[in-house]
Amino acid sequence: MDVVELHGRAAGEFVRLVGVVGSEQWDSATPCSDWDVRTLVNHVVNEERWTVPLMAGQTIEDVGDSLDGDLLGDDPATAAAEAERAAQASMGGPVARGDQVHLSYGNEDAAEYVWQLTADHLIHGWDLAKAIGAEPRLDPDVVDAVSGWFTEREELYREGGAIAERVSTADDPASRLLGAFGRDPSWTPAHVSG
């Protein structure tokens, strides 16, 4: 399975979860301690919205501040679904051609960028599920693929402050991956109040 398909699976599950967020849950805590549910969803939608111009060869300077702020509006589920569809549609050609995208830290292979997005959707999908009391559905194929990809990048991500310290977890593949990303698989909203 190629990375574009893996992204589609992880992003599709994230969009499904956004569609079941209750109206009273948007300000609920998430495993990302600085973000509530709405901020978490806006972050992921922002990534998807950035994907289209980046895959088209634009730079951060070209896009400017046009994607700053709230991208969810009054209908977060539709905003998430539309952003996911547009991002997914933009990836195939650039990845197949081996194009470069212009990121904040420099040029990167389009495929590597899609791996980053896939991991982010998978982990933030888990975050969202836990925050709203839904059962996380971590696709085993996506977990295995992201685990293999992330093994070589974990310390770089941690040193750059992109992820928290590794958490000791159970020995199943999903728990190990969550722990590598600094997530405690036993997290519940009750952890916030304690």
Is residue 173 predicted with pLDDT exceeding 90?
Answer: yes
Is residue 192 predicted with pLDDT exceeding 70?
Answer: no
Non-local (6+) Cβ contacts of 95 within 8 A are: 2, 3, 4, 110, 111, 114
Domain of 81 in residue numbering reads as: 3-137
Distance CA 126, CA 120 (A): 10
DSSP H or E stretch at residue 109: strand 106-109
Please indicate, yes or no, if residue 151 is contained in any of the structural domains: no
pLDDT digits (tens, 9 = 90+) for 91-114: 999 999 999 999 988 999 999 999
Residue in the structure block whose two tokens are 């991002």: 87
pLDDT computed for residue 193 by the predictor = 52
CATH number for the domain spanning 19: value is 1.20.120.450
Is residue 191 predicted with pLDDT exceeding 70?
Answer: no
Please indicate, yes or no, if residue 91 is contained in any of the structural domains: yes
Please indicate, yes or no, if residue 168 is contained in any of the structural domains: no
Average pLDDT estimate for 167-185: 89
Is residue 83 predicted with pLDDT exceeding 80?
Answer: yes
- Per the structure, the count of domains in the chain is 1
What mean pLDDT value characterizes the chain? Answer: 93
Please indicate, yes or no, if residue 25 is contained in any of the structural domains: yes
Q: What is the pTM of this model?
A: 0.94
pLDDT digits (tens, 9 = 90+) for 137-155: 999 999 999 999 998 888 8
Please indicate, yes or no, if residue 119 is contained in any of the structural domains: yes
pLDDT computed for residue 170 by the predictor = 76
pLDDT band with cut points at 50, 70 and 90 for residue 125: very high
Please indicate, yes or no, if residue 184 is contained in any of the structural domains: no
pLDDT digits (tens, 9 = 90+) for 15-51: 999 999 999 999 999 999 899 999 999 999 999 999 9
Question: Bigger pLDDT: 191 or 138?
Answer: 138
Please indicate, yes or no, if residue 187 is contained in any of the structural domains: no
Distance CA 37, CA 24 (A): 10
Please indicate, yes or no, if residue 36 is contained in any of the structural domains: yes
